[in-house]
Structure 1
Amino acid sequence: YCALLSSDDAGQRQWEYATKAASEDPLLTEVWQRWLESDAPIRRGDADLLTHTAQAIQAAKKWLIERRQLDFPIQAQAHQRQQSLEALQARISTPPALLAP
C-alpha cells in the first residue's frame, strides 16, 4: 500500500482509475491536479484513497437523489392537504341545516 504507483499494467490501471475518479468531483479534481503537479510521491494507497473517496461521494449523491424521491410524495401532498383543509373549514363554518321535527 505504501509502494509507489508504478507504470506496470496494474499501476497503469490505478493511474487511470484515479484520474477518472478525480474527474467526477470538482474537489477531487483539484486535489489530484495539485498532486500531479507536485513532486510528492504517489503511492498505491493514495490512488486507492482517491478512488474510494470518489466512490463514497457518488454513493452519497445517489443516496441524496433517492432520499429526495422518497420525500417527493410527501411534498406532493401539499395541494391535497390544502384542498381538504379548505373543504373542512367550509363545512365547519357553514351551520348544519335544521332537521324538521
Structure 2
Amino acid sequence: MSAEETTLSIELIRWTFNVDPAHRAEIESYLVDQGLEVLVRGEETMVATWDEPEGDPSEVIEGMWAIAGANFEVTHEEFHRANLFVYEAEADDEVKAVA
C-alpha cells in the first residue's frame, strides 16, 4: 500500500440504523442541524449521509443516543474519492470518460 492510499480523506459517511418511531422526528432534526442528509424508510429505518464530514462522528452518534434515551446499533460506512470521472457524450453518441 502506498502512502497515498492510506491518507485518503473521507468524502462521505453513511449511517444506517433503526430508531424508536417516538424519537424519529427529533433525531432527524438533530442530524439535519449537524449537516447530514436524512432519508426515512418506513417507521423505523433511517439512512443519514454526511458529505465531507467535519467533526467527530462519535459525538454525533452519542447525541442521537441521548435523544433516544438508549444506545442502538449504527452501521457506519466511509467512502473515499479514489477516482473522479466526468462522462460526456461524443458527437456520435459514444460515452467518453474525461479525467
In proportion to residue count, which structure has more helix? Answer: 1
Q: Report 1 or 2 for greater relative contact order, CA contacts < 8 Å, sequence distance ≥ 6.
A: 2
User: Whose strand fraction is larger, Structure 1's or Structure 2's?
Assistant: 2
Specify the TM-score bucket, using the shorter chain as the normaliser. Answer: under 0.3
TM-score (normalizing by structure 2): 0.27
